[in-house]
Amino acid sequence: MKPELTFILGAMEDGCLTKRESIGDFTIEFDQKNKEWLEELSKCFKVVFGKTSSIKTTKRGFFRLRIHSKEIFQKLENLMKRREELIENSSLECKAKFLRGVFDSESSVHRKRFVIALSNKNTNLLKFCKNLLEDFNIKTGSICKSNKDVFEFCVFGRDNLEKFRQRVGFLHPDRKRKLDELLKMSH
């Protein structure tokens, strides 16, 4: 499996698969504040599926990457059903790229404390990510409810954040910058 594909499978946490079969519309779509991240994601789609995608500005000032393709839609839909199994049996590089995609999509970096929080409604995804982080010797806190129906766990401490940066990292420019700035802070 290509690392770019595992990144896409993680980034799908920020994506949407929409089909309107009656009119033959099969769409993969990502909305983001950061255009640069979408451009990198677009490159991954080009490597994996050989398809270029358009990035446009929405009325709300976000950027939208959109791909219209029944073939890619169906492949992604099938891969998402087996995502955990595929990732579990892949290389460390692919596991890191998957985690990068999920953390780019669903995490936040604290401004002053050495904490990265990963939030999602899907506790199975969070458990899976925690287990994958163990493969990189990155320790995490427990999964707990953060609000109404969202759960989270955190990666704590300078050492764990440094391991995260080196072994998984962010592709998302904003999160990458925040982590770099945080780790420059003195003890």
Domains contained in the chain, CATH given: 3-85 (3.10.28.10), 91-184 (3.10.28.10)
Q: CA-to-CA distance for 170 and 184, rounded, in angstroms?
A: 16
Model confidence over 158-179: pLDDT tens digits?
Answer: 999 999 999 999 999 999 999 9
Model confidence over 76-102: pLDDT tens digits?
Answer: 999 999 999 999 999 999 999 999 999
Beta bridge partners of 145: 151
C-beta separation of 157 from 151 below 8 A: no
Q: CA-to-CA distance for 151 and 148, rounded, in angstroms?
A: 9
Model confidence over 121-154: pLDDT tens digits?
Answer: 999 999 999 999 999 999 999 999 988 889 999 9
